């Protein structure tokens, strides 16, 4: 990969060495067990083709994006070892342990529904839709912990514009990957899969809404939603679906996983709001990860501090009713 200019690199070029080692081991395993490998061309395609992307690798040509907070960035180790990704288990340490061999290449995201130009996008396609930006956002989980993360991606609106939504598109539905062969912990998580989320069209098109392919200068770790996820910083974390495989523009408000499972606790909107006690506990304060055992809870801000940019989307709506 060193002999190509950065602009010519493909997503498979940035697949880490470790993945090729896995591939090679697998290949030799096949040879040893008599697996069919016909001719050199087949062999070399296999060796140079996309591999399992299990280790994050550096992303080049990332410019500083808008909307970044100057708050202290949460240590990367906290963000990659304390996760919610129920397909890989419900313990906070489960995703980092259980998603190690998750295959994220090849990968296809189907963009469909009420659009003029439906597309099946590869990761190479997705990496080229718009210049990559680093955006340092606050992320607030409904469980009352929060993090500050240097995400990498671009506004979701760039992808939407590519497929040209029709006037009938009023909402966007997001679907995460699900396969029990890779996610054997999924069936005991207690929520239905595939994980579904949704946004109103104006929320999806808001420039803060990020289609995210990396963090901390690198591609996404598997446990944080590789190879591509959503990040919607003014909403509780569960709105930001990981490891996306389908994006559907639709006429009606789509069903969402947590709202379907427990509608009293999880609404469709899920805007961060210290005054509305969703779930079983107060949302007035939060605990910032990585501050050590003496760190104190901090006050939660309405719309997670992004109200100056997004409050107008909800003018005239009763935020207690549309939680
Ligand atoms: N597919 C999928 N996406 C998901 C989840 C999940 O369990 N499955 N958990 C959500 C929740 S509750 C949060 S807080 C964030 C956590 O993202 P992080 O682990 O990268 O911090 O992912 C969200 N996206
Ligand atoms: Mo969350």
Asked if residue 47 is part of any domain, the answer here is yes
Atom of ligand 1 nearest to the CA of 149: 21
* DSSP H/E element including 140: strand 133-140
Residue with the smallest CA separation from ligand 1 atom 19 is: 83
Query: What pLDDT, on the 0 to 100 scale, is given for residue 12?
Result: 57
- Residue 224 Cβ < 6 Å to ligand 1: yes
* DSSP H/E element including 27: helix 17-32
Distance CA 231, CA 97 (A): 23
Q: What are phi and psi of 218, to 5 degrees?
A: -130, 170
Provide the 10 A C-beta neighbour count for residue 320. 9
Residue 51's alpha-carbon distances to 180, 221, 317, in angstroms, are 20, 15, 47
| CA torsion, ordered 149, 85, 260, 191, to nearest 10 deg | -160
On whether the CB atoms of residues 19 and 51 are closer than 8 A, the answer is yes
> Which residue has tokens 């060796």?
47
For ligand 1, mutation pick of 81, 152, 238 (most atoms within 8 Å of CB): 238
Centre of ligand 2 to C-alpha 262, Å, is 14
CATH number of the domain to which 294 belongs: 3.90.420.10
For ligand 1, mutation pick of 143, 239, 240, 286 (most atoms within 8 Å of CB): 240
- Residue 232 Cβ < 6 Å to ligand 1: no
Asked if residue 184 is part of any domain, the answer here is yes
Asked if residue 1 is part of any domain, the answer here is no
Asked if residue 202 is part of any domain, the answer here is yes
DSSP per residue over 223-258, as a string? GGTSS-EEE-TTB-GGGS--SEEEEEEESSPPP-HH
- Residue 86 Cβ < 6 Å to ligand 1: yes
Q: How many domains does the chain have?
A: 1
Asked if residue 259 is part of any domain, the answer here is yes
- Residue 195 Cβ < 6 Å to ligand 1: yes
Residue 301's alpha-carbon distances to 30, 231, 286, 295, 316, in angstroms, are 55, 18, 10, 18, 20
For ligand 1, mutation pick of 237, 243, 258, 287 (most atoms within 8 Å of CB): 237
Query: What pLDDT, on the 0 to 100 scale, is given for residue 69?
Result: 98
Asked if residue 320 is part of any domain, the answer here is no
Asked if residue 88 is part of any domain, the answer here is yes
Tell me the pLDDT of the chain (323 aa) as tens digits: 334 444 444 565 554 434 433 433 333 333 332 332 222 223 233 333 444 446 899 999 999 999 999 999 999 999 999 999 999 999 999 999 999 999 999 999 999 999 999 999 999 999 999 999 999 999 999 999 999 999 999 999 999 999 999 999 999 999 999 999 999 999 999 999 999 999 999 999 999 999 999 999 999 999 999 999 999 999 999 999 999 999 999 999 999 999 999 999 999 999 999 999 877 789 999 999 998 888 999 999 999 999 999 999 999 999 999 99
Asked if residue 323 is part of any domain, the answer here is no
Centre of ligand 1 to C-alpha 257, Å, is 12
Range of the structural domain that residue 16 is part of: 6-314
Query: What pLDDT, on the 0 to 100 scale, is given for residue 13?
Result: 53
């Amino acid at each position: 990969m060193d002999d190509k200019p950065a602009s010519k690199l493909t997503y498979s070029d940035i697949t880490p060495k470790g993945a090729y080692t896995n591939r090679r081991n697998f290949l030799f395993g096949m040879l040893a067990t008599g697996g069919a490998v016909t001719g050199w061309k087949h062999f070399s395609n296999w060796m140079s083709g996309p591999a399992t992307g299990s280790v994050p690798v550096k992303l080049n040509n990332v410019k500083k994006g808008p909307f970044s907070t100057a708050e202290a960035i949460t240590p990367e180790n906290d963000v990659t070892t304390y996760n919610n990704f129920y397909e890989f288990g419900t313990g906070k340490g489960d995703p980092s342990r259980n998603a190690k061999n998750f295959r994220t290449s090849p990968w296809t995201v189907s963009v469909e529904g009420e659009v003029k130009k439906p597309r099946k996008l590869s990761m190479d396609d997705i990496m080229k839709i718009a210049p990559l930006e680093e955006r340092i956002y606050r992320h607030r989980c409904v469980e009352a912990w929060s993090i500050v993360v240097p995400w990498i991606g671009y506004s979701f609106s760039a992808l939407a514009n590519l497929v040209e939504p029709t006037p009938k598109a009023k909402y966007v539905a997001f679907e995460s990957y699900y396969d029990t062969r890779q996610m054997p912990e999924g069936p005991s998580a207690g929520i239905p899969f595939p994980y579904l989320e949704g946004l109103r069209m104006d929320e999806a098109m808001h420039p803060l809404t990020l289609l995210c392919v990396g963090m901390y200068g690198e591609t996404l770790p598997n446990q944080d939603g590789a190879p591509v996820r959503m990040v919607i910083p003014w909403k509780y974390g569960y709105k930001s679906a990981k490891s996306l495989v389908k994006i559907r523009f639709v006429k009606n408000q789509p069903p969402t996983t947590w709202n379907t499972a427990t509608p009293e606790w999880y609404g469709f909107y899920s805007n961060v709001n210290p005054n509305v006690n969703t779930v079983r506990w107060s949302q007035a304060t939060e605990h910032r990860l990585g501050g050590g055992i003496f760190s104190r809870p901090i006050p939660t801000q309405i719309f997670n501090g992004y109200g100056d940019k997004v409050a107008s989307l909800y003018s005239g709506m009763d935020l207690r009713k549309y939680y």
